[in-house]
Structure 1
Amino acid sequence: MTSIALFNNKGGVGKTTLTYHLAHMIRRIGLTVLAVDLDPQANLTSMFLDESEIEELWESPSDLILQGTAFPILPGTSRVRGGQTIADAVRPILEGTGDIASVEPAQLQSGLWLLPGSLDLSRFEDKLSLEWSRAYGGDPAAIRTSTAFHRIIEQAARSVEADVVLMDVGPNLGAINRAALISADHVLMPLAADLFSLKGLSNLGPTLRDWRDAWQSLVLPKVPSGIPAPQAAMQPLGYVIMQPEMRLDRPVKAYARWLDRIPELYAVTVLGENAPPRDKNEHRIATLRNYRSLMPLSHDARKPMFDLKPADGALGSTQQYVATCYREFRTLADEVLGRVGLG
């Protein structure tokens, strides 16, 4: 099993959309995928599940449910069970009543599983922040807290025999993301071709190296033998350029100056290497065009953009666009799997 965190500390770059579609495509290739929603905004969960399932999961009726406008839960159709989120798994630690609770992933379809998120996960931020420094001293309780995500994901992945774990994390450098990222074998970075993404990239690289060095040198040597702990590999996998406007299959000129700067910035700040030659760009995994016209159809049909059919509203020339979307995501998935040794 290999784990990949999709992360950029700049929001709005399409990270959750990328996680959702990559999970579906890797499953289609034939591997078992566990998607893990570690963003307290729970956007990945809301993409995978319908309103009724989320209401059941969080045990809190939404306005749509109360107004009777959402689909009712039919016997035997729900893919979730109440109280089975990441937040529920860490609640015993947060409340001081025990260690992590076992959480059963939701099976979305054959070979595709979800460890759902919850807005309640944000309550765990302060606890993680407090215990991080105590973990340096080898405090067992602090180490259990800091390794909670790793152990939850490890248990869930083992229970469904996952080949690939895709972790969706929020756009910040806070304690929740630190605990999530040290659990990842690899980090895949979605980027937009703009100044904000480049600034986020310059902050992200040094921070990941600091977290890795601190964990491996100060915490790992002191972890008690009975507590499974991550290695904090966080190996940079590469980056994906998300949603530039395309003309004749090339980004419009307004993006060019930012695209030209990304390879050097990624090599220097994320990898700690010298700037590559201008004609070298081996760390860019893909550039995905803007599929804005397909997203509303995908949302309404509750399926990936590349699975849209005429019955979903993808009519006429839109079907050619769907086929292009499929090819791009298939190429992306093949490249990602090849880089982690599963190709």
Structure 2
Amino acid sequence: MISIALFNNKGGVGKTTLAYHLAHMLQRQGLRVLAADLDPQSNLTAAILDEEELEQLWGKNSELFAQHGYPEQRKLFTRTGEQRTIADAVRPILEGTGDATPIFPAQVSEGLWLLPGNLELSSFEDKLSAAWLSGYGGDQAAIRTTTAFHRIIEQGAKAVGAELVLIDVGPNLGAINRAALLAADAVLTPMAADLFSLKGLLNLGPTLREWRDKWQRLVRPHIPSTISAPDAAMAPLGYVIMQPEMRLDRPVRAYQRWLTRIPWVYGTAVLGHETWPDDNHSYEIATLRNYRSLMPLAHDARKPMFDLRTADGALGSTQKHVQTCYQEFQALAKQVLERAEQLPSRT
């Protein structure tokens, strides 16, 4: 099992959209895929589940649907009837009553599952922040707290036989993201060609190296064999450029100016190279054009953009965009798989 986190310190670059579509496309390639929503905003969960399922998942005592009083209403909730979220899984740690508890992933489709997120996960931030420093001295309660996400993902992946895990995290360098990224074998960076994304890269690289070093040097040696803990590899897998709304073959001057700077910034800040290595290896995995015209249709149809049909409103030239979208995400998924296969094997 290989885990890949999608992360950029800069928000608004289409990270969750990329995670959602990449998860579906990787499943089309024959993989058993688990998506883990570790972003407290829970946008990936909201993209996958409909409003009734979210109501069942996040507001089990809501009077709006009153599912306990009306058995017929409960039949609507096919994926979330007994489902628990990642916030539910870590609640014993947060309340001081025990360790994280396993949750069984919700099945999205054949070969694709979701570990649902919850807005309540944000309350875990302070607990994780305090546990980080305590872990340096080998405090086992702190170590269990920091490794909670890793163990929840590991148990969920094992339960469904997932071969690849995609971890969606928020756009910051806080304690929740640190614990989430520690659980990742690799980090895929979605980004835009602008000043803010480049600034995000400058922060991202040194921070990941610092977290990796402190974990492996100060915490890892103190972890007993009874606690499953990550290696915190966080290997840079590469970046995907999410293009703004303009023609792909005629980028504007400002866009092109930032575009040419990305490889050097990624190489020095994220990879830690003093000079760009002469190995002909590009860390740009793909450039995805803007599909803003397809997004409303996909949202209403509750399906990926590349699955839109005429009945969903994808008429005329829009259907050509759907086909192009499928081809681009298919190529992206193949590239991600090729790079993932080059990582050290995981069990």
Once the two structures are overlaid, the 10-residue window that deviates more, 242-251 or 205-214, is: 242-251
SS class of match (1:296): helix
What is the CA-CA distance between 1:224 and the residue it aligns to?
1.1
What is the CA-CA distance between 1:63 and the residue it aligns to?
10
Q: Please give the per-residue CA displacement for 1:15-40, whole angstroms capped at 9, x wherever unaligned.
A: 00000000000001110100000000
2:178 is matched with 178
SS class of match (1:340): helix
| Cα separation, 2, equivalents of 1:153 and 1:213 | 22
Q: TM-score w.r.t. structure 2 length?
A: 0.93
Letter in 1 for 2:55: E
Specify whether residues 87 and 159 from structure 1 end up closer, same or farther in structure 2 by C-alpha distance, changes over 3 A only.
Answer: same
1:339 is matched with 339
What is the CA-CA distance between 1:90 and the residue it aligns to?
0.2
Specify whether residues 280 and 341 from structure 1 end up closer, same or farther in structure 2 by C-alpha distance, changes over 3 A only.
Answer: closer
Matched, 1:325 2:325: yes
Specify whether residues 323 and 74 from structure 1 end up closer, same or farther in structure 2 by C-alpha distance, changes over 3 A only.
Answer: farther
What is the CA-CA distance between 1:58 and the residue it aligns to?
1.1
| Cα separation, 1, equivalents of 2:246 and 2:260 | 16
1:188 is matched with 188
Specify whether residues 251 and 278 from structure 1 end up closer, same or farther in structure 2 by C-alpha distance, changes over 3 A only.
Answer: farther
Aligned residues, how many? 338
Check conservation: 1:2, 1:165, Cα contact below 8 A: yes
| Cα separation, 2, equivalents of 1:177 and 1:73 | 37
Once the two structures are overlaid, the 10-residue window that deviates more, 56-65 or 83-92, is: 56-65
Check conservation: 2:65, 2:73, Cα contact below 8 A: no
Once the two structures are overlaid, the 10-residue window that deviates more, 269-278 or 236-245, is: 269-278
| Cα separation, 1, equivalents of 2:246 and 2:267 | 26
What is the CA-CA distance between 1:45 and the residue it aligns to?
0.3
Check conservation: 2:74, 2:81, Cα contact below 8 A: no
1:114 is matched with 114
Letter in 2 for 1:93: I
| Cα separation, 2, equivalents of 1:198 and 1:62 | 43
SS class of match (1:141): helix
Q: Please give the per-residue CA displacement for 1:91-126, whole angstroms capped at 9, x wherever unaligned.
A: 001001111112111001100000000000000000
Check conservation: 1:56, 1:81, Cα contact below 8 A: yes
Specify whether residues 16 and 305 from structure 1 end up closer, same or farther in structure 2 by C-alpha distance, changes over 3 A only.
Answer: same
Check conservation: 1:8, 1:191, Cα contact below 8 A: yes
Letter in 2 for 1:147: T
Once the two structures are overlaid, the 10-residue window that deviates more, 89-98 or 266-275, is: 266-275
Letter in 1 for 2:16: T
2:220 is matched with 220
1:69 is matched with none
SS class of match (2:4): strand
| Cα separation, 1, equivalents of 2:154 and 2:326 | 30
Q: Please give the per-residue CA displacement for 1:74-102, whole angstroms capped at 9, x wherever unaligned.
A: 62652113451000000001001111112
Kindly report structure 1 stretches of 4+ aligned residues shifted beyond 4 Å. 60-66, 277-281
| Cα separation, 2, equivalents of 1:11 and 1:310 | 33
Where does structure 2 lack aligned partners over 5 or more consecutive residues? 67-71
SS class of match (1:9): coil
What is the CA-CA distance between 1:47 and the residue it aligns to?
0.1
Letter in 2 for 1:204: L
Where does structure 1 lack aligned partners over 5 or more consecutive residues? 67-71
| Cα separation, 2, equivalents of 1:119 and 1:13 | 21
Q: TM-score w.r.t. structure 1 length?
A: 0.94
Specify whether residues 9 and 73 from structure 1 end up closer, same or farther in structure 2 by C-alpha distance, changes over 3 A only.
Answer: farther
SS class of match (1:247): coil
| Cα separation, 2, equivalents of 1:213 and 1:275 | 22
2:316 is matched with 316
Q: Please give the per-residue CA displacement for 1:275-305, whole angstroms capped at 9, x wherever unaligned.
A: 4389967000000000000000000000000
Letter in 2 for 1:51: E
Check conservation: 2:87, 2:117, Cα contact below 8 A: yes
| Cα separation, 2, equivalents of 1:239 and 1:257 | 17
